[in-house]
């Protein structure tokens, strides 16, 4: 118990409300949350460090494994970043196939999230229902790529596997399945009175807070922020396609930023993804899927390449970012930095938790669709003792002042 | 009161089950015992779900057409391939393979191909069938 009559309640690193290791420390006054502090760093695997000891081709399958379900997202960003650094252009057909795959994954991710959100507020039947319908899109991904997860679809200059005309009927059938089921999903998640009670007015993120804390993706679009990399800075084939920011105000709801509007935005994006895939199938040009059919030639080009590149894409959870630096004559990546969307959205936890009840913690924690495996990139490990620790702001400031003093002392001597 | 739940429940009683009981209907208490029973023909194995057309299973290696250019070693993300200097051929450790298919893509002679085999679980990663040694 603190001096101001508040209690501190840690949730995590291992807790039923969280699907991945992560720690949030809450300050509780009675039943109300008066403070929340996020402590990431429990799921660090050193993937960037591993990547910097391999050549660019070896990192493609590694980047795929940063996240359990966004394997397409990280591959897409990494490949775009390297292509940017080395000046490789993918073919137009490959750009369209990349969009189709990315949108299929968005359907997959949003349906999965809806199930997790329902589970967090106690509707396990809805969890089973959404995970049942998610099987269809996983079957489709398996049909296109050959595997259910870790698709190994991306390569420099294009994609590994084509989507020929014979696959269109099955893709169309799956899209139709989701279109028919959408009404039911809307009825469950937007019409059900008990779900509305648990979601309307809970975990509110105001537009000001969303802009101030640099949140990304559906989390801030629900607050009315017009922010979507697919429209703001089109990549792959998104420049040719017709799409619109999905805001709750488009559908006659307020841009309130509560959990209800976040659910609404995700469900509407599901419909939008179906529309985008249809547009892609119509417009896809007939050409090669890779600009350089000889992989060995690209490998040599990458060895000589010198420069830095970025890959910025709209993941299902929001904008994510990869930075790659290549050095001429060096086979391995010179630098690789991953910034996943959860890293930004984590900051929005603080205003969302404020004033809510302890019982609302699981659903608010789930509402940004956190992916800790993607996010955890930095941790301080003491090499001599093997101990892990986190540095707080004051401590860092003290260390910084000490270093300045040490440096000044060195000059004086 | 007839609700959607009851309707769905009744409907599900008559639909085909999504779960395929594999390899046998009920999980055996002893996997080795079950394998022995299947081997002796006393228990019939439940066929697995059909795999997709371009499934990436265990690798097959055509050692005769391999020219020993070592390109596959350069793109293997999990170091599953090792070069045998004496015969100038490639040794493949199946247990380390991530089935990304980059070796098959880069090979100028198309020595690598993916088979449909996916039953590779075992206790010895250096067992005879887990190492393709030319």
Confidence label for A35 from pLDDT (cuts 50, 70 and 90): confident
Element (H, E) at A71: helix A71-86
Q: Which of A276, A309, A338 delimits the end of a domain?
A: A338
Alpha carbon distance A165, A142 (integer Å)? 17
Domain assignment of residue A186, given as a range = 47-338
For residue A388, CA distances in Å to A21, A397, B28, B72 come to: 15, 19, 43, 38
A406 and A319 together in one domain: no
Residue A370 belongs to some domain of the structure:
no
Instruction: Give the CA-trace dihedral at A93, A98, A104, A107, to 10 degrees.
Output: -130
Rounded CA separation B28/A239 (Å) = 55
Q: How far apart are CA B51 and CA B55, in angstroms?
A: 7
Q: Is residue A37 part of a domain?
A: no
Mean pLDDT of the residues in chain B: 84
Residue A413 predicted with pLDDT over 50: no
User: Closest partner residue to A57 among B53, B75, B108, by Cβ?
Assistant: B75
| CA dist list (Å): B98 to A60, A183, B57, B92 | 12, 39, 10, 12
Confidence of residue A274 (pLDDT cuts 50, 70, 90): very high
Q: How confident is the model at residue A393 (pLDDT cuts 50, 70, 90)?
A: very low
Domain assignment present for A199? yes
| Tens-place pLDDT, residues B30-40 | 777 777 887 78
User: Can you give the pLDDT at residue A226?
Assistant: 92
What residue in B sits closest to A292 (Cα-Cα)?
B106
Answer yes or no: is pLDDT of A399 > 80: no
A-to-B residue pairs, Cβ atoms closer than 8 angstroms: 59
- State what percent of residues in chain A have pLDDT above 90: 44
Contact residues, chain A, for B118 at CB < 8 Å: none
Q: Do both A108 and A252 map to the same domain?
A: yes
| Number of CB atoms found within 10 A of residue A38's CB | 16
Tokens of B95: 């247990």
Nearest to B52 among A62, A146, A150 (CB): A146
Beta carbons of A61 and B102 less than 8 Å apart:
yes
Q: Using pLDDT thresholds of 50, 70 and 90, give the confidence band for residue A4.
A: confident
pLDDT of residue A283: 92
**3-class state of residue A15 by DSSP:** coil
Cα–Cα distance list, B77 to A71, A147, A230, A288 (Å): 16, 18, 30, 26
Residue A349's nearest CA partner among A66, A118, A29, A26 is A26
A11-31: per-residue pLDDT in tens?
878 877 677 788 888 888 877
Q: Give how far the C-alpha of residue A334 lies from the chain's centroid of Cα atoms, to the nearest Å.
A: 24
Q: How many CB atoms lie within 10 A of CB B99?
A: 19
Residue A182 near residue A174, CB atoms below 8 Å? no
Chain B interface includes A131 (CB < 8 A): no
Residue A256: pLDDT over 80: yes
| Rounded Cα–Cα distance for residues A141 and B1 (Å) | 40
B110: alpha, beta or left? (left if phi > 0; alpha if psi -120 to 50): left
DSSP A116: H
Chosen from B9, B67, B100 to mutate, greatest number of chain A CBs within 10 A: B100
Rg (alpha carbons) of chain B, rounded to whole number: 21
Is position A297 within any domain? Answer: yes
Q: Which residues of B touch A62 (CB under 8 A)?
A: 77
DSSP 8-state assignment for residue A248: G
**A148 and A248 share a domain?**
yes
A94-97: long-range contacts (C-beta < 8 A, 24 or more apart)? A94/A157, A94/A158, A94/A159, A94/A289, A94/A290, A94/A291, A95/A236, A95/A237, A96/A236, A96/A237, A96/A280, A96/A283, A96/A284, A96/A285, A97/A153, A97/A159, A97/A162, A97/A163, A97/A284, A97/A289
Same domain, A165 and A232: yes
Among A321, A338, A355, the domain boundary falls at A338
CA dist A253 and A73 (Å) reads: 30
CB A25 within 8 A of CB A39: yes
Boundary-marking domain end, from A277, A305, A338: A338
Extents of the domains making up chain B: 1-49, 50-134
Name which of A24, A71, A43, A136 is nearest A373 in CA terms. Answer: A43
Q: Rounded CA gap, A370 and A21, in Å? A: 11
Q: Are B67 and B108 in contact (CB under 8 A)?
A: yes
Residue A213 belongs to a domain with what CATH number? 1.10.645.10
Asked whether residue A248 falls in the same domain as residue A395, the answer is: no
Q: Are residues A281 and A397 in the same domain?
A: no
Per the domain annotation, does A346 fall within a domain? no
| Same-domain check for residues A199 and A310 | yes
Is A404 in the same domain as A263?
no
Helix ranges (H only) for A187-284 are: 193-199, 207-212, 218-221, 229-232, 259-283
A126 located within any domain: yes
Domain count, chain A: 2
Task: Show residues of chain B in contact with A135, CB under 8 Å.
Answer: 18
User: What average pLDDT does range A171-195 have in this prediction?
Assistant: 90
Alpha-carbon distance of A27 to A8, in angstroms, equals 5
At A123 the pLDDT is 83
SS3 assignment, position A224:
coil
pLDDT value at residue A247: 92
Instruction: List CB contacts of A222: < 8 A, sequence separation 6 or more.
Output: A205, A247, A248, A255, A256, A257, A258, A261, A262, A264, A265
C-beta of residue A308 within 8 angstroms of C-beta of residue A323: yes
User: What's the complex ipTM?
Assistant: 0.84
**Cα–Cα distance for residue pair A110/A273, rounded to 1 Å:** 10
Domain B50-134: give its CATH code. Answer: 3.30.70.3270
**pLDDT for residue A166:** 92
Q: Cα(A3)–Cα(A362) distance, rounded to whole angstroms?
A: 27
CB within 8 Å: B102 and A57: yes
Helix A71-86 and helix A92-120, axial crossing angle in degrees, nearest 10: 150
């Amino acid at each position: 118990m603190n001096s101001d009559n508040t209690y501190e309640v840690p949730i995590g690193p291992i807790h039923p409300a969280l699907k991945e290791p992560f720690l949030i420390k809450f300050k509780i006054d009675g039943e109300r949350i008066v403070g929340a502090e996020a402590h990431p760093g429990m799921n660090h695997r050193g993937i960037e460090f591993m990547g910097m000891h391999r050549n660019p081709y070896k990192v493609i399958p590694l980047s795929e494994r940063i996240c359990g379900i966004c394997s397409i997202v990280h591959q897409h960003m990494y490949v775009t970043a390297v292509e940017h650094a080395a000046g490789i252009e993918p073919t137009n057909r490959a750009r369209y196939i990349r969009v189709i795959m990315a949108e299929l994954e968005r359907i997959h991710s949003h349906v999965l999230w809806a199930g997790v959100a329902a589970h967090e507020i106690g509707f396990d039947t809805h969890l089973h229902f959404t995970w049942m319908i998610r099987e269809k899109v996983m079957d489709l991904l398996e049909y296109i790529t050959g595997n259910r997860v870790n698709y190994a679809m991306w390569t420099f200059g294009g994609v590994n596997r084509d989507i020929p005309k014979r696959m269109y009927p099955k893709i169309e059938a799956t899209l139709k399945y989701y279109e028919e089921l959408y009404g039911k999903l809307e009825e469950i998640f937007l019409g059900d009175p008990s779900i509305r009670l648990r979601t309307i007015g809970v975990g509110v993120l105001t537009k000001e807070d969303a802009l101030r804390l640099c949140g990304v993706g559906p989390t801030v679009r629900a607050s009315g922020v017009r922010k979507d990399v697919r429209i703001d800075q089109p990549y792959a084939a998104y420049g040719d396609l017709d799409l619109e920011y999905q805001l709750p105000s488009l559908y006659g709801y307020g841009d309130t930023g509560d959990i209800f509007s976040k659910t609404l935005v995700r469900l509407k994006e599901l419909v939008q993804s179906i529309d985008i895939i249809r547009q892609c199938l119509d417009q896809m040009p007939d050409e090669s899927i890779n600009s350089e059919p000889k992989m060995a030639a690209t490998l040599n080009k990458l060895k000589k390449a010198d420069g830095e590149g970025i890959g910025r894409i709209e993941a299902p959870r929001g904008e994510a970012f990869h930075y790659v630096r290549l050095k001429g004559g060096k086979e391995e990546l010179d630098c690789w930095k991953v910034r996943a969307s959860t890293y930004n959205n984590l900051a929005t936890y603080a205003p969302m938790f404020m004033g809510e009840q302890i019982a609302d913690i699981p659903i608010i924690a789930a509402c940004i669709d956190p992916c800790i495996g993607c996010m955890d990139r930095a941790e301080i490990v003491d090499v001599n003792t093997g101990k892990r620790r986190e540095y707080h702001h004051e401590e860092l400031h003290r260390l910084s002042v000490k270093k300045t003093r040490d440096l000044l002392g060195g000059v004086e001597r | 009161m007839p609700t959607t739940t009851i309707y769905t429940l009744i409907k599900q009683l008559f639909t085909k089950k999504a779960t395929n009981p594999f390899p046998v209907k009920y999980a055996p208490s002893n996997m080795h015992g079950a394998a022995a029973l299947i081997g002796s023909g006393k228990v019939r194995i439940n066929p697995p779900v059909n795999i997709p057309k371009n499934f990436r299973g265990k690798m097959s290696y055509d050692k005769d057409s391999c020219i020993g250019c070592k390109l596959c070693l350069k793109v293997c993300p999990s170091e599953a391939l090792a070069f045998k200097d004496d015969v100038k051929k490639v040794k493949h450790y199946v247990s380390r393979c991530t089935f990304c298919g980059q070796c098959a893509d880069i090979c100028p002679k198309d020595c690598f191909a993916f088979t449909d085999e996916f039953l590779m679980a075992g206790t010895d990663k250096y067992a005879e069938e887990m190492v393709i040694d030319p």
